[in-house]
Every structure is written in C-alpha cells, then in structure tokens.
Amino acid sequence: MSLRKKFFVCLTVFIFQMASVLPVFAEGEAIQIKGSDTMVNLGQAWAEEFMRANPEVSIAVTGGGSGTGIAAIISNTCDIAQASRSMKEEEIEKAENSGEKIHETIVGYDGIAVVAHPSNPVSGLTIAQIADIFTGKVKNWNELGGKDLPILVLSRDRNSGTHVFFLEHVLRGGNSKGPEEFDTEALMMPSNQSLVQEIKSSEAAIGYVGLGYVTSDLKVITVAKNDGSEYVEPSIETVQNATYPISRPLYFYTRGTLRPAVQKFIDFVLGPEGQEIIELLDFVPLNKD
Amino acid sequence: MESARKPWNRALEFLIERAIFFAGIISIFFVILIFVFLLKEGVSLLKTYPLKDFIFGQKWYPISEPPSFGVVPLLLGSLAVTMGAIVIAVPLGMGAAIYIAVVAPGWLKEILKATVEFLAAIPSIVLGFIGLVTLVPLVKQVFHLTTGLTAISGSIMLAFMAMPTIVSMMEDALTAVPRSYREGAIAMGATKWQMIWRVLLPAASSGMLAAIMLGIGRVIGETMAVLMITGNAARIPTSLFQPVRTMTATIAAEMGEAVQGSDHYFALFAIGIVLFIITFLINLAAGFFIGRAHHK
Amino acid sequence: MTNDIVIDVRDYNLYYGDFHALLDVNLSIKKKSVTAIIGPSGCGKSTLLRGLNRMNDLIDQVRVTGEIFIEGKPIYAEKRDLVELRKKVGMVFQRPNPFPLSVYENVAFGLRLHSHLSKEEVAQKVEESLKAVALWKELKDKLKAPALRLSGEQQQRLCIARLAAMSADIFLMDEPCSALDPVATQHIEELIRVLKEDYTIVIVTHNMAQAARVSDETAYFYLGKLIEMGPTDQIFTRPARKETEDYITGRFG
C-alpha cells in the first residue's frame, strides 16, 4: 500500500471515530439560544431558573445582536433566536427554504427610553421632534427650548435591534421602508453600556436605550405621540397599556417541530415564573389577560 | 554505527523538507482561497449597485430604501485615523528606537525592548477599553469637544498599537548600521546627535521606512479599538476632532446584522476588498524598502 | 626644537577594566613627519593611536592616567573640547568607512558639522581635498555617486579627503592598507609621502616593510610598553634594544 493510500485510510477511520463520539455530547439535552444583546441578560436569567428545575437540560445563551441570532436560526445553528425586532420577509423566506416553518413567539415587551444628560433642561419631546433630532434637522438644543449647545446625537450601531426599531418606529414614523435616516453625524455606539456612559459624560448628548438600561443618573425624556397629546414617561405600566409610544415586542424565533425540552422552556418563559423574571429585569411582561 | 545512521538521516531530512514545502504550499493556497472568496462576494455587489456609486458615493446608508453604499466616508475615516496615528507614532517610535539602539546603556536597553514588545501582547480590545475610560474623557476635556469619541482618540490609541512594530523594526534597522559609520562620524568630531542625524538615520532610512509602512498596515486593519472609541459616525471627516467611521469598524458592526446574500452583505465584502488592496499595497511598499535595506 | 613637537605623550597609562593595556608611555612626535607604530598584535599600538583623539572614550570602563599634549594643550584636561580635538586630529580606519552618502557629501561632512561656509566655499574645499588625495580627476564627474560604490582604494582616499576638508592637521591611520590589495597599498603609501608635506601622520601597521618605506620615525611596542623609538632607518638597521631586533628580523611576532 502506498503511503498516500495509508494516509487516507487512517483519515477515514479517524473521521468515523469522531463522528461516533460526537453525539455523546448532545445526550444531556442542550439548548442553544442566540441573538439580541438587549435580551441576553434576560435569556440568561430564564435559563438559570429553568435549569434549576430541570438539571438534565443545559442552556447556552449568547448575544451578538438580533441579526446574529436570526442568522443562526437561518443556518440552523441555534434552537431559539432572541430578537428585539421582527424577522424580515426575506429572512423568513431564506430560513424556510429548507422546508421547515419559522415560528414567532412574543415573550414580552421593551420600552425604549430617550435619555439625555441630567443637566439638560429639556424634559419632554414629541415623536416628531425626536425624529428631527436624530435625522439632523434640528442641530441645537436652543431650538427645543434648551441651552445654546449643539446636539450630540447618539445611536446604537446597525447590528442592534434597538437601532432598527428606533429607525423604523421613530425616525420613519412607523413606515419601515421610509426614506428617513440617521444623521451622518450621529455617533454609532457599539453597546448600550458605552452609549449610557457617553450620555453621562456629555451635556449635549441625547440617545436611546432599552428600559432595562435606564439608571437614575440619566435624564429620561417624556414622549408625546403628537403635538397635542400627553407627555408620557416610559414605565412598565405605560408600555403595557400602550400609552408610551416607543415600545416594542421581544421575540423568540424557532424552526420546525420543537424538541420537548425546547417547548418546555418556551412554556416556562411564557408562564408566571418567566414573566416574573421579565419584570425583575425591568422589561415589560405580557399582559396577563 | 555511522553508516547505519546515514539512511535514517536522509529519510528524516526528506520528510522535513516535504513537510516544510507542504506547509508553505498550504499557506499560499489559503491566501488565494481567501482572496477568491473575498472577490467573489464583493464583486457580487456590482450586479445590483454601480461601481461608480460605491467608490465615489458619499453616503453610507446600508439599510435605507434604497440603500446607499458610498465608501468615501468610511475610506476617509480610516485614512484620517491612520494618518493621525502615524503622525503620532512615527516621531515617538523613532525617538524610542534611537534611544534604545544608540543612547541607552546595556541593561536599560534590554528592559526597554522587552517593555515595548510587551505592548504588542496587549489585546487590542483591552487597549480599546482602556482608551474608552481614560483617553476619551481626556480628549473631550483637553480639546473642549462635545464628545471624546473622535478620530484623534482612535489615532492616539492606534499609535500605541503601532509602536511595538515601529520601534522594534526601527531599532533593528539602526542596530544593523555598521559600527564603523558611527565611529567614523564620532572620530570626525561629530556629537552623538550629529552622528545620529547625519549618518545613522540616512544609513537606516530604508529599514525605517519599512517600519513605518508595516506600522500603517497594522493600524489600518485594526478593528476593535476604533469601533469602541472613534464614534462611528459615517460622515466625511473635515478634522481629526470629529467622530469618524472606519472601514474595519463598519464591517465589524454590520456583518452580524446583514442578511447573508443581501446587497448590504456584499457591500461589506466590497469594503473588505478595498481594505485588502490598501494593506496589500502598503505591504508591497514595505517589502520594497526592506529589499532596498538589504541591498545596501 | 620643541616647537616642532606636535604630539607629546607623558606617563600615559590606560586600563580596560582590570587590564593594564598601556604602561607609562612617553614619546613625542614631530610636526609634518610620518611616525610608524609597530609591534605584535595586542601590544597596545592601536590603543595608543585611539588615545590620541580620545576614541577610547567610546569604550566602557576605560581609565587613563598621565597626559597627552597636542600642540602643547593637554587633551585629557577636564574641560577639553572633544569636538575641537577630533577636528584637528583625524582618524583613518582599517576598513575604509565612507558614510552611506554621496562622494561629495562624504567630503563635505566635516564642513557641515563644524563650519558655516557658503555653497561655493564648500564646493571649493571639496575640490581641493579631493585633489589633495588625487581623486579629483577620477571622481569629478561622479560627485553625486554613492561613496559605497567606489573601489576600496578610492574609499580609503575619500576617507583621508574628508579629514583634509575639515582642516585636520594630524592624521591617525590605523592599518589603513590592511583591507587593500598590493597595488592599492602602494598608491596609498605614495599618498602618505605626499601628505606629509602638509600633515603630521601617525600610522599603525603590521607590515614592517611598509613602516620602513613610509615613515621617518618608528616606535616599537611590546606588551603595552614602548620598547624603543627613533629614526626609522636606525630602528631597522641598528636597533638599540635586543627585543626590537628580534621582532624586526622576524624572529618572533
């Protein structure tokens, strides 16, 4: 036998051995959850609580952004994609090419708070005003009744579900294909933490974050839907009763028929324990009715 | 005994030779594969988006309807940050290299060399984080800006990242200058600084240019630190004190969200090609200078 | 008579760390003469030469006692200006070491360091200096060429020219022909004979025939001591000391 042949025989044997060993790792029933950075702590909290009651299941939660999770569900490399935006039609189409249906579950809500530096005298803005700030039509705080200070616009970067939601629901007023865009001068922050930190350090800054990231040293701007309507502060109640205009659902995406463990986990999330955890982490639970 | 060992040696030598050859071929193969993949994905953009609008477009709105994939603000962002970094790193690095190569006493020389090389071992995301919490507020305060997340912050941070490359390569180039040149100059009554300025630096110039080129190569490809501290606003920069968005940061920030096979996805690969071409040219220039240094 | 003495070495001792490299050296060198320093390897002849323009200062752990007077001024005196000293006392090394610059810039090097001459004055000096070492004819059209492209002999002449240009009047030559072929060696020796009309030359050499051919005076060193110094023909024909005779006749060394 030539050396080359021997090599291939060895390689083949090796591959088969590996293949027979690998499934052993899966025996403990593992669930892979991937996606939205906004939801990563939430997913982790659910997973911990669930695993305490079901020690035979091991759940791994990773972030990377809604897009990352959705890409993973498309390529079938995770069981659940967490997303803070809904899947685009083209994404669903791509995922369903394999023949398996994509299933969407709303697991809770997130309100997006518009935040500014605590020293900023401006306390309430309309959706239209906010849109003007972020598209760059309004450049100075004095146009909004504030100090004579150029506005520093902070946005999350495009891999963030929050960015997409804010773009479509605030800047484009709900028309997801609208022409409006963030001002080119808007800073694109890579994480919620860095955005919050930058707001704290700059008097002129304005930005937006999920309700869970609001801390007491930030100024939370109250938002009015229209000129005449009431200015509402974001809170669990106002998101749940839909009086606060900038809120969004949080999604689980799954594909095909679910394994019992995955189904059990989703039921847990939608159940009272799961919903309690949502509230604990400053997100907004589903309406109990 | 001796003769019995010989065939073994020859067989071993043959095997080692083959293994090295194989390793070399594999690495070339992978480089070609990467380039072909990059090209294939990047060029796919041109099926639906005109090349002219990509190269000269001044707006980067990848998720608008219709999207604009103008690379100009990103390219200029990268160049601004890189040039800033080089302007800072070259004089500093040159000073450090001269000090280590010529001025420092033996024991200090070793300590300094080890320290500079240690700088290279710090992961860039760690440097980025340190930059975010220390440098960014400082830049904001010192230059009275509305935000410290600017090109200059990125430049300063990247200058630190380019330093190890620049210092150690320049130091090599300076040490390689024959001792006789230095002695000759000193014997003619040159002071140390005159000797360095008039003999050492001209003699080492090729190697030092190569060091600068490789420093640029290191800086322009850097991602995490710039993503964290340059503000990522895709505007055309008019000064270093503005937020900018670099090509690398754009790819890193948007690749996760871009739908595979979409125009946005292909556009990010097209940026990759631009980046690849730039680093390739820079390395080519560095190679040219290194070749010239050896030729002398 | 004493006015003729340009270099006067008095009770000169030099130590490399613990090693006593030169012991109580006393000698004087006349103006516009060629003095050869000979002796076996390690006898301290190069060390003495490098002591004359304090090039030994570059080596760590060198310690010196005694004094050397150049034109009557002590060179180890505390406030001695080394730049002044090295400008006056130039050095030619074993291996030609022109700088990696053009021919012109090599010759002009010292002028750029030490003077503020106009462009024309510099050009004039460069021409004179190249003429002094008989390089002008060959190189006047190649002044912009890199000096490292020249032949070994041309490079060594260039190294002498660049000393002449900055008006050095003492040339220290440390085996200047050891890297050259016999023909080139002969040319350099001829040059030395011409140069002594205007310059004082101290040459260290291994080659006794060379010492005999070019020098007026010869000093023989052995194990860091000056054994004997005198007119060259006397040293080579009737040395006063037995050791000198043994070395010169090739009985050892």
Q: Provide, for chain C, the percentages of residues in helix, strand and coil under a 3-state DSSP scheme, each rounded to the nearest 5.
A: 40, 25, 30
Can you give the pLDDT at residue C1? 41
User: Looking at residue A110, what is its pLDDT?
Assistant: 84
Which pLDDT tens digit goes with each residue over C36-53?
A: 999 998 888 999 999 999
Q: Taking 90 as the threshold, does the pLDDT of residue B272 lie above it?
A: yes
| Model confidence pLDDT, tens digit, residues A228-280 | 889 999 988 888 888 899 988 899 999 999 999 999 999 999 999 999 998 88
Map out the domains of chain A as residue ranges.
28-108+249-280, 111-247
The neighbour count for residue A145, using CB atoms within 10 Å, is 11
Q: Which whole number is the average pLDDT over A87-107? A: 90
Residue to substitute from B71, B257, B259, B262, interface A, most A β-carbons within 10 A = B257
Nearest by CB to B146, from A68, A189, A202: name it: A202
The model's pLDDT over C225-237, given as tens digits with 9 standing for 90+, comes to 999 999 999 999 9
CB A138 within 8 A of CB A236: no
- pLDDT-derived band at C206 (thresholds 50, 70, 90) equals confident
Q: Is the pLDDT assigned to residue B265 strictly greater than 50?
A: yes
C97 and B296: CB-CB below 8 Å?
A: no
Cα B72 to Cα B64: distance, rounded to the nearest angstrom = 17
The predicted structure's pLDDT at residue A24: 42
Work out whether strand A219-224 and strand A102-116 pair parallel, antiparallel, or are unpaired: antiparallel
Contact B189 C166 (CB under 8 A): yes
Average pLDDT over residues C183-197: 91
What class, spelled out in words, does domain B53-295 have in CATH? mainly alpha
Instruction: Give the span between the Cα atoms of B115 and C33, in whole angstroms.
Output: 54
- A-contacting residues of B 218-237, CB under 8 Å? 227-228, 231-236
- Residue (of B112, B120, B96, B108) closest to B174 by Cα position: B96
Confidence of residue A15 (pLDDT cuts 50, 70, 90): low
**What mean pLDDT, rounded, does chain B reach?**
90
Q: How far apart are CA B96 and CA B86, in angstroms?
A: 15
Total domains, chain C = 1
CATH class assigned to A111-247? alpha beta
**Residue B41 — pLDDT band, cuts 50, 70, 90?**
very high
Residue C105 within a domain = yes
Per-residue pLDDT of C51-85, as tens digits, reads: 999 998 888 788 999 999 999 889 998 788 888 89
Instruction: Identify the chains in contact with C, defined as 3+ C-beta pairs within 8 A.
Output: B
Nearest chain A CA: its distance from B253 CA (Å) = 6
pTM over 0.80: no
CB-count burial class (<10 Å; 0-12, 13-18, 19+) for C38:
buried
Integer Cα distance of B244 and B242 in angstroms: 6
CB–CB contact B181 C113 (8 Å): no
A93 in B contact zone (CB under 8 Å):
no
Task: Specify the amino acid at residue A90.
Answer: E
Q: Cβ contacts (< 8 Å) between A164 and chain B: which residues?
A: 63, 257
pLDDT digits 0-9 by tens, B169-186: 999 999 999 888 999 999
Residue A114's pLDDT band (cuts 50, 70, 90): very high
- In the stretch 239-258 of chain B, residues with CB closer than 8 A to chain A read 242-243, 245, 253-258
User: Which pLDDT band, with edges at 50, 70 and 90, does B256 fall under?
Assistant: confident
Does A177 contact B227 at a Cβ distance shorter than 8 Å? no
CATH value at residue C14: 3.40.50.300
What does the pLDDT average to over A100-111? 91
Chosen for mutation from B135, B150, B238, B259 (greatest number of chain A CBs closer than 10 Å) is: B259
Q: What is the pLDDT of residue B168?
A: 92
User: For residue A45, what pLDDT band results from cuts at 50, 70 and 90?
Assistant: very high
- How far is it between the farthest Cα atoms of chain A? 88
pLDDT value of residue A160: 80
Asked if C114 reaches chain B (Cβ–Cβ under 8 Å), the answer is yes
Give the pLDDT of residue A10.
54
Question: Domain residues of chain B, as ranges?
Answer: 2-47, 53-295
Gap from C249 CA to chain B (nearest CA, Å)? 34
| Cβ neighbour number for residue B244 with a 10 Å cutoff | 31
Q: What is the pLDDT of residue B23?
A: 92
pLDDT-derived band of residue A140, with 50, 70 and 90 as boundaries? very high
Instruction: Tell which wins on pLDDT, C67 or A21.
Output: C67
pLDDT at B296 over 80: no
Average pLDDT across chain C, whole number? 90
Looking at residue B99, the DSSP 8-state letter turns out to be: I
Domain that holds residue C167: 5-248
Q: Which of A276-280, B4-8, C99-103 has the highest mean pLDDT?
A: C99-103
A vs B, Cβ pairs < 8 A, gives 93
pLDDT tens sequence across C144-189 = 999 999 999 999 999 999 999 988 889 999 999 988 899 999 999 9
Minimal Cβ distance to C86: which of B180, B181, B188: B188
How confident is the model at residue A26, as a pLDDT?
44
Q: Which residues of C touch B107 (CB under 8 A)?
A: none
Give pLDDT tens digits for A149-196: 999 999 998 878 788 889 988 998 877 778 889 999 999 998 888 899
**What class does CATH assign to A28-108+249-280?**
alpha beta
Per-residue pLDDT of B147-165, as tens digits, reads 899 999 999 999 988 999 9
Q: Which residue has the higher pLDDT, A6 or B70?
A: B70
ipTM: 0.85
Does pLDDT of B46 surpass 70?
yes
At A20 the pLDDT is 45
